[in-house]
Chain A
Amino acid sequence: NAGVTQTPKFQVLKTGQSMTLQCAQDMNHNSMYWYRQDPGMGLRLIYYSASEGTTDKGEVPNGYNVSRLNKREFSLRLESAAPSQTSVYFCASRRGTGGIGNQPQHFGDGTRLSIL
């Protein structure tokens, strides 16, 4: 079982470049999430999608866009990368919609992104 798959695992960008982080889940989950994790900051929610066709801003959405392409896939785009976006990015999925219900999130193994 693949679970949540993120690509790429590592990426180095120059300031101003754009890129899309991909995330796919094969668990037929409704909700999907993008987090960033920085030292001492914990996980911070960037965007989430409570169900196919919907997306909402999280705690730190500035500089990012997302697309819920279908039920399986949820991509995160950096239009003009900045050094402050250097981080580890985690995608997660969950059976429930939003925060409703007692189902836990399942995480991909992360994308380590460096912006020079």
Chain B
Amino acid sequence: RKEVEQDPGPFNVPEGATVAFNCTYSNSASQSFFWYRQDCRKEPKLLMSVYSSGNEDGRFTAQLNRASQYISLLIRDSKLSDSATYLCVVNSNDKIIFGKGTRLHILP
């Protein structure tokens, strides 16, 4: 099992729809989790941290399931500007592991 796995996509979703991504991780001792957004030819930018109880930031909701070792990102009422690659990141004591990203295309 890879340390961090994401469905590469692309996800082609009509504007206004809800879309969800999952990211699985292999190290049960992992401590902190993040979602990053990366636009084409740009640097990764922090979208949101993922907390144990789940957290929401506007249209974005992140959840952590430690028992099944995955994190999720839900985007509601998707906008054209949400088109990007979404990277999940998992931190352990001595390692920070990036997933390869899921590409999202919002269609007008």
> Is A42 in contact with B98, judged by CB distance below 8 angstroms?
yes
Interface residues on A, range: 20 to 34
Q: Which of B49, B95, B100, B101 lies in contact with A104, CB distance below 8 A? A: B49
Within 8 A of B (CB), among A73-103: 88, 90, 94, 98-102
Residue A34 interfacial (CB < 8 Å): no
Q: Is the CB of A100 within 8 A of B99?
A: no
**A41/B49 in contact, CB under 8 A:** no
Residues on B with beta carbons closer than 8 Å to the beta carbon of A40: 100
Complex Cα spacing A104 to B95, Å: 12
Q: Mark B15-46, 1 if CB is under 8 A from A, else 0.
A: 00000000000000001101010000111111
**Which of chain B's residues has its CB closest to A43's CB?**
B98
Q: How far is the CB of B55 from chain A (nearest CB, A)?
A: 12
Give B residues with C-beta under 8 Å from A.
Answer: 31-32, 34, 36, 41-46, 49, 87, 89, 91-96, 98-101
